[in-house]
Amino acid sequence: MAASEAIPYAKTGGLADVTGALSQELAKLGHDVILLLPRYRSLDDSGRTLRTIARLPIQTPHGINEATIEEDVIQVSDHRSVRVWALRQDAFFDRAGLYQDRGKDYPDNLERFVWFSRAIIDVMIFLNREKGWKTDLLHLHDWQTALCAVYLKTTDRDRPAIQQVNTVLTLHNVGYQGMFPGHQFAATGLPASLFTAEGLEFYGSVNLLKGGIIYADYLTTVSPTYAKEILTPAFGFGLEGVLQTRRKRLEGIINGIDTERWNPESDPFLPASYSVNDRAGKQVCKQALQREFALPQKKIPILAMIARLTSQKGSDLLEAVIPQLMELDLQLVILGTGDQDHEANLRRLHAHYPERIGLHIGFDEGLAHRIEGGADIFLMPSRYEPCGLSQLYSLRYGTVPVVTKTGGLADTVVPFNAKTMKSAKATGFHIETPTREALLKAVHAAVNTFAQHTLWEQLVQAGMNADVSWAQSAKAYDKLFARLTQSKTS
């Protein structure tokens, strides 16, 4: 498994949660897993210990550039473990940020991830030559590793040690494509014949994700609904045509969450623990959350939002309806950081409603857990959401999600209606379209239902009983991997 980030080593978003957790779940299923990451400076703060095990010459378009391999081993059971290999090249990765410095992309990001992709290829050859370890499948994630699929089918296709390697590319968010100026194409080391509309060229730019989509053996994305959405202009970000040509080898597999780390029965960040069968502790968490945000101790619903403050996450929609929400008997708690305009708008609204709104600009892992534990309703008015993890945390913590009917949000939250309540399957509320009116309508429905104790208890219980673990998702990947490897060897 090759990725640009994974917990607990390096993280900017949900990609890290997926790669860190999925690699361990696959090991539990019997796979021999090696997780390859860049050796960022942030690994020093991960709490993990890495040891140098090898040095490899990496052939790049600019000549040999050595990689130092540092290893950590994560034990996932008595007999299973994941080897984590961090590929060190300090000129590229000994930096404060993973991809950016103070909000601006590093100007050499193309060279950085070309090197990482070349190193991944050479590591597979090293494993075969020195360790007798044959790579059956290379699981790639997003644009940062997409070039590996291209190299395996073009410049490296005749190298015996890797000819049988199957590639799966998981698309976590098609909005991020790894695009660079066309004049930098030579930095990839690929022949000029691939810089065409049928190859990696995209309106004059180099598009690494496009290359991976074309050349990977199979594509997955992070929810069944998102797999359909990205085939349309509204969600394909210009790649919908390329994706349409690969739709028979594209599958949506929903993400899971780490149910040990996110567990209200044992969460060290919560002031009190609770379970689906005994939720007294959730009231303690709610009162503590009100104190933490200096909100009055009232028995009214607390609505929460934890998100990047961007238009994709619907921050502008929430800001627009806050004055109308303040006419209802509720409190609102927000945690996030993002666009300066959204931060300024929320600060202004907080100043106007100091006893109704709790606001923390920034990110705090412990506070995120306490908000999930103490809130009653969780808001995700995203314009699009490939999978989403916060709604899964919310279900686990008995905090009823109100989400836009898109991507993984639509797949994981069963909407409240007469049919789903009669079958006791409803777990939350859908915002039918990403508009102010639809957001208000969904919040009104949630707040009105909160006042009906029996219905609310049923909603909470159904959510807390939902299986949001990685177990089923890992089995889906397992079946896909088996199908691919068997078809190539048969």
Secondary structure of 155-216 in HEC code, one letter for each residue: CCCCCHHHCCCEEEEEECCCCCCCEEEHHHHHHHCCCHHHCCCCCCEECCEEEHHHHHHHHC
Sorted by where each begins, the domain ranges of the chain are 14-256+471-489, 280-465
Q: Is 205 exposed, middle or buried (0-12, 13-18, 19+ CB in 10 A)?
A: middle
- Six-digit token string for 224: 């069944």
Q: For position 489, what pLDDT does the model report?
A: 56
The DSSP code for 4 is S
pLDDT for the residue numbered 62: 81
Identify the pLDDT of residue 488: 63
Half-sphere exposure of 418 (CA within 13 A, CB side): 0
From the number of C-beta atoms within 10 Å of its C-beta (0-12, 13-18, 19+), residue 304 rates as buried
Gap between the Cα atoms of 55 and 165, Å rounded? 23
- Provide the residue count of the chain: 490
Tell me the whole-structure pTM to 2 decimals. 0.92
Answer yes or no: CATH 3.40.50.2000 is held by domain 280-465: yes
Tens of pLDDT along the chain (490 residues) come to: 999 999 999 998 889 999 999 999 999 999 999 999 999 999 998 899 999 999 999 988 888 899 999 999 999 988 999 999 999 999 999 999 999 987 789 999 999 999 999 999 999 999 999 999 999 999 999 999 999 999 999 999 999 999 999 999 999 999 999 999 999 999 999 999 999 999 999 999 999 999 999 999 999 999 999 999 999 999 999 999 999 999 999 999 999 998 999 999 999 999 999 999 999 999 999 999 999 999 999 999 999 999 999 999 999 999 999 999 999 999 999 999 989 999 999 999 999 999 999 999 998 989 999 999 999 999 999 999 999 999 999 999 999 999 999 999 999 999 999 899 888 899 999 999 999 999 999 999 999 999 999 999 999 999 999 999 999 999 999 999 999 998 765 5
Any idea which architecture 14-256+471-489 has in CATH?
A: 3-Layer(aba) Sandwich (3.40)
Cα–Cα distance for residue pair 143/176, rounded to 1 Å: 7
CB 222 within 8 A of CB 170: yes
Longest dimension (CA), the chain: 69
Beta bridge partners of 168: 139, 218
Determine the pLDDT at residue 78: 87
The secondary structure of residue 274, as a DSSP letter, is -
Q: Tell me: the pLDDT tens digits for 113-167? A: 999 999 999 999 999 999 999 999 999 999 999 999 999 999 999 999 999 999 9
Q: How many CB atoms lie within 10 A of CB 279?
A: 16
Nearest-CA neighbor of 22 among 106, 140, 187, 180?
A: 140
Tokens of 207: 């598009």
For the record, the structure tokens of 49 come out as: 């210990």
Q: Which of 362, 428, 424, 416 is nearest to 392 (CA)?
A: 428
How far apart CA 54 and CA 72 sit, in angstroms, is 13
Inter-residue contact 445 to 429 (CB < 8 Å): yes
- Helix (H) / strand (E) element for 485: namely helix 471-489
What pLDDT sits at residue 429?
Answer: 98
- Angle subtended at Cα 81 by Cα 58 and Cα 465, rounded to the nearest 5 degrees: 120
Contact (Cβ atoms closer than 8 angstroms) between residue 389 and residue 468: no
**In sequence order, what are the beta bridge partners of 404?**
431
pLDDT for residue 148: 98
Give kind and range of the element (H or E) at residue 131. helix 109-131
